[in-house]
Amino acid sequence: MSLPTRRSVLKTGAFFVCCGVAHIRLARAQSAHATVLPVKEIAEGVFAFAGAAEMMTDKNEGEICNVSFVVGAEAVAVIDSGGSAAEGRELIAAIRATTDKPIRYLINTHMHPDHIFGNAAFGETGAIIVGHHNLPRALASRGDYYLQSYRESLGATLMADIKIVPPTKLVEGEEQLDLGNRKLTLRAWKPAHTDNDLTVFDQQSGTFFTGDLCFIDHLPTMDGSLRGWIAQLDNLKAIAATRAVPGHGPVPSNWPAALEPQQRYFEILARDIRKAIADGVPMAEAVKNAAQGERGNWDLFEEYNERNATAAFAELEWE
């Protein structure tokens, strides 16, 4: 990270454009020689970076999900660390370009690598890692596998300093974190996208950080419970937010309108799979034909729809 690359130059450029209103400590960012993640200030003291709707690769450094931070009177809370330690460092650089306040919390919204591979970068910040009470178990089940399976797409260089760092502060039900005159409400959800989904609500700005309970543009992925996800959509809608930062998609997004595309997709997917199960269609065949009408509405449909259909089939045939 010592030499500025073309990409880092581009990013820094974008950073200036987006964050003209923020207090940019250019000198500091440059002296650290760190690439700065191009976050934008979407509300006072609320900064977010929109990841690309792509698979994680060495080229995009795993920067495919939305990551954010909230600055209170005393401290900073980070929401998701990104898909590589490199992204985690860029996020820290973006925070340091904004404020000197300590990073008190790193909140992980769930287990997936694009959201937690950056955890290792936060070791030196002293941040307490916060997660759903099921997150340590989920990482125990998958951590080693993730470290192996992403080697191919991310490459050895990026993988070298990626570690699975589980949360030490666990959330059951609802809990509040205080950043100094600024309270964040954390909520642990029942199985939906995964069995360890956690959301963050910033009361001061009315910003709702959904984690991957909300996907826009990027096809949602099923790694928990389709029925559980559908069943909790009304609870999600009931969150009285001014704006949302979805796990994937535009930053910020309108709330609760942000939930509409995925709700439509879930209903079509569930309908098609339920019909196939009732008709006795074998799984292998059913998953090829499910929700095909949705193809044009999403990025990464080819990559994830059949997987979603497979998971949905295995779940719904127990109804």
> Binding segment for another protein among 68-76, 97-105, 137-145, 234-242 (CB under 8 A)?
137-145
With binding defined as CB under 8 A, does residue 314 bind another protein?
yes
Q: Which residue has the tokens 């910040």?
A: 125
Phi, psi at 134, each rounded to 5°: -85, -5
Question: In the sheet that 76-79 helps form, which strands lie side by side, from edge to edge?
Answer: 40-43, 46-49, 67-71, 76-79, 103-107, 128-132, 169-171
Nearer to another protein, 173 or 280 (CB): 280
With binding defined as CB under 8 A, does residue 231 bind another protein?
no
Q: Which residue has the tokens 């045939």?
A: 317
With binding defined as CB under 8 A, does residue 283 bind another protein?
yes
Binding map of another protein across residues 27-66, x = CB under 8 A, - = no contact: ----------------------------xx----------
Nearer to another protein, 46 or 309 (CB): 309
Return the bridge partners of 69, or none.
Answer: 47, 78
Binding map of another protein across residues 64-103, x = CB under 8 A, - = no contact: ----------------------------------------
What is the spatial distance between Cα 202 and Cα 196, in angstroms, rounded to a whole number? 20
Terminal-residue alpha carbon distance, the chain: 52
Nearer to another protein, 48 or 116 (CB): 116
Rounded (10°) CA dihedral 107, 197, 47, 49: 110
What is the spatial distance between Cα 247 and Cα 254, in angstroms, rounded to a whole number? 13
Question: Is the peptide bond prior to 256 cis by the omega test (within 30 degrees of 0)?
Answer: yes
Give, as ranges, the residues between 189 and 208 that touch another protein (CB under 8 A).
191, 194-195
Pairing outcome for strands 243-248 and 207-215:
parallel
State the minimum distance, in angstroms, from the CB of residue 194 to another protein. 8
What is the spatial distance between Cα 207 and Cα 46, in angstroms, rounded to a whole number? 8
Nearer to another protein, 58 or 306 (CB): 306
Report the interface residues with another protein, using CB under 8 A.
Answer: 55-56, 112-114, 134, 136-146, 148-149, 151-153, 164-166, 191, 194-195, 221-225, 228, 280, 282-284, 287, 303-304, 306-307, 309-311, 314-315, 317-318
